[in-house]
Amino acid sequence: MQSKSYSLSIQNMNCASCVNKIESKLKALPGVQAVSVSFAGGQGIVEIDPAKISLREVLRAVTKLGYPTQLLKTKGEEPKFSRLFLLLVARFFVSLLCSLPLIVTMFFAISVPLQIGLATVVQLFGGWPFYKGTLLGLRNKAANMDTLVALGTSTAYLYSLFVVLLNVPRAIYFETGAVLITFILLGKILEMGAKKRAYQGMKSLLMLQPKLVRVKKGDKIEEIDAGMVSGGDVFLVRPGERIPVDGVVIKGDSHVNEAMLTGESVPVHKAVDLEIFAGTVNLESLLEAKAIRVGTETVLSHIIRTVQQAQASKAPIQRLADKVTSIFVPIVLGVSLLTFFIWWAFGSNPVEGLVNAVAVLVIACPCALGLATPTVIMVACARGAKEGILIKDAAVLEIAQKIKTLLIDKTGTVTEGAISVQEVVISKNGSSESAVQMAGSLAQNSDHPASKAISRHYKEKNIALFQVEEFTAYPGKGVTGKIKGERYYLGSPLFLESARVDSTEFLPVWEKLGSMIVAFGNNARCLGFFALVDQIKPGSREVVARLHKKGIECVLISGDRKRVTSEVAASLGFDRYEAEVLPTHKSDVVEAYKKQGRITGMVGDGINDAPALAVADIGFAVGGGTDVALEAASVVLMRPSLEGVFDAIVLAGQTFRKIKQNLIFAFGYNILGIPLAAAGFLHPIIAGAAMALSSVSVVLNSLLLQKQR
């Protein structure tokens, strides 16, 4: 049986050590093939073999660890987010009100019983989440951030209580534990708010799909829930409304804003037989459409699932942070004990050793380290989706910014994939108007792309066309028919030659042209020809130049003739080209470039590009491409232009720089903070404030990615 992948929503994670605990537990279960958990996003991805383990068993295993888990939904916000946030705010304000009088004791004396009462409220009510987390950790034989906070604040509280009850002539530190808990709760509020802002990009995608749909049933129009729509239902979308499900227009003509899917601000014209997509906005007039993809099958739902999975995945650089955090808490506990014993043995005041040991416990909390990478990935994936860049895995962000060679498919990627008339050449002895009328008349009766291009060319010029009799099409060759009693031919030069049409006049010109040639003539001779080309997409030349500035070698790859491919490559400024490459050999070309030791990307849009996209270090599927190509690629570009490739590479570079900044800050904070605390230069209260601010600063730095161009 084929493996299945699920996205999970996981609650109560407090730091990176919680992530390690969950991942270790799941990896130990039979049938779990892969797992990745994101602390910042509160999400996870698990891949299982349904024959060996069920999703219910996976959910039960994580929940039993103390982290309530459920299948991640594609609608709504994080489960219980609001309730947890409000409870956290309540704990903070109660702790703050109780801590303020205790802070006064640092300057003025107040009654000791009052100090005990206030400190006890903070310790038990404000600090309860930390005790709960510690108990869960002990039950699972693991220490975490809660362990450090609970142990540090309890040490200060119990020591002070011991001094008071036994009437020992020592200083008391009730304010230390209370203020520490207050600061840490404040840090958690700020952190949760910042994480919520990082989640806004995802939430904006979730809110795009309308809840209600106007469905046409006979002569009646009913308003039903979007989840009740079935494939084949006819629905209506009024001007200004969002489209509820994917469909095909059966009546109406309008423009639709698809910026939320493609990042392209220019409205797209929609008429009969054209597709419309859930979440996009109808701008002008009423559209009547038939539903073709509903519920989780819509393009929007697919994007949401992909972004959720990418946000829960891990970049390779995060492995270093994971290794450190897996052993970090036990090391910190050891350093704290060592600090206490050294001060006890060699210091003039043993109590100072206790205070410094508490400071070590608090300053070393690994929250910032656990948030450093996931928060950046959350923001990057959501921002990318907003710009029409769909990233399937966090590893893509690390690899894409290292690309040195980029192979780009020609047709449909740098060119429009739809041929058009470049030039019309008429015989010296022929009548220009008469000749084109005959050719256009034949073309309008054919469905061949070349005929459609010719027919479109003359419709735009409003040239009158004639009725064709005895019309016959020869697939892959050309067409023939009688106009005003005389037979005419339209097709390849070989087709006219086989019909014994004299075309010697044009042979020298044909040899020089690399374009597609469609000749036309009558029984006597060739009257002229059309030079057809696949139009270059606007902006392709500029994108290639920008890629060069980033030091990326650009290679054009095509199954087209060498002459045509070389002309396109030269006109766009490509470094080199690979022409006449069979579809089955494109992946071989990619492999050859990879063997040169350079990180290699592949850009394509068709079925024949799928193997090459899968083989490349990073595969970019240009929007509008086939489902096969979109599945094989690492990055899906919803816009049908090459510019999205450059934007994706730039976004990857910005993301990786943010990750490095966060990791340097988080590691530096702990490396510098622990020695200072152990040496007695950081009071526990200051350490608590610094610890809270470190986590918030890492998240805020990640959010700056939203503002970068």
Encode pLDDT of 404-414 as tens digits.
999 998 877 88
Rounded to 10°, the helix 174-206/81-104 angle is: 160
- Asked whether the beta carbons of 344 and 331 are under 8 A apart, the reply is no
CA atoms of 446 and 56, how far apart (whole Å):
57
Longest dimension (CA), the chain: 123
Specify the pairing of strand 415-426 against strand 526-536. antiparallel
**What share of the chain has pLDDT > 70, as a percent?**
81
The mean predicted confidence, pLDDT, of the chain is 79
Write out the DSSP string of 292-303.
Answer: EE-GGGSHHHHH
- Asked whether the beta carbons of 188 and 118 are under 8 A apart, the reply is no
DSSP strands (E only) in 525-575 = 526-536, 553-557
CA atoms of 190 and 359, how far apart (whole Å):
22
Tokens standing for 503?
Answer: 């075309």
Domains of the chain: 4-70 (3.30.70.100), 212-297 (2.70.150.10), 389-415+537-643 (3.40.50.1000), 416-535 (3.40.1110.10)
- Asked whether the beta carbons of 241 and 255 are under 8 A apart, the reply is no
Beta-carbon neighbour count of residue 219 at 10 Å? 5
- Burial classification of residue 55, based on how many CB atoms lie within 10 Å of its CB (0-12 exposed, 13-18 middle, 19 or more buried): middle
Per-residue pLDDT at 249:
93
**Residue 553 reports pLDDT greater than 90:** yes
Q: Report the candidate in 247, 252, 250, 246 with the shortest Cα–Cα distance to residue 269.
A: 252
Highest mean pLDDT among 115-124, 209-218, 362-371, 625-634: 115-124
Per-residue pLDDT at 75:
46
- Asked whether the beta carbons of 212 and 229 are under 8 A apart, the reply is no
Catalytic site residue from 233, 322, 393, 409: 409
- Burial classification of residue 88, based on how many CB atoms lie within 10 Å of its CB (0-12 exposed, 13-18 middle, 19 or more buried): middle
- Asked whether the beta carbons of 465 and 490 are under 8 A apart, the reply is no
Beta-carbon neighbour count of residue 624 at 10 Å? 16
What phi and psi, each to the nearest 5 degrees, are found at residue 454? -65, -45
Encode pLDDT of 21-69 as tens digits.
788 888 888 888 888 787 666 778 888 888 888 888 888 888 888 788 8
According to DSSP, the residues that pair with 451 across neighbouring strands are none
Tokens 């080209």 locate to: 577
Q: Report the candidate in 691, 625, 424, 388 with the shortest Cα–Cα distance to residue 533.
A: 424
Determine the average pLDDT of the residues in 210-238. 85
Per-residue pLDDT at 76:
41
- Asked whether the beta carbons of 256 and 281 are under 8 A apart, the reply is yes
Known catalytic membership, residue 409 = yes
Kindly indicate the confidence band of residue 367, based on its pLDDT and cuts at 50, 70 and 90: low
Tokens standing for 655?
Answer: 């993301």
Encode pLDDT of 627-680 as tens digits.
555 566 778 887 777 888 899 999 989 988 888 888 888 778 777 888 888 888
Coil, helix or strand at residue 126:
helix
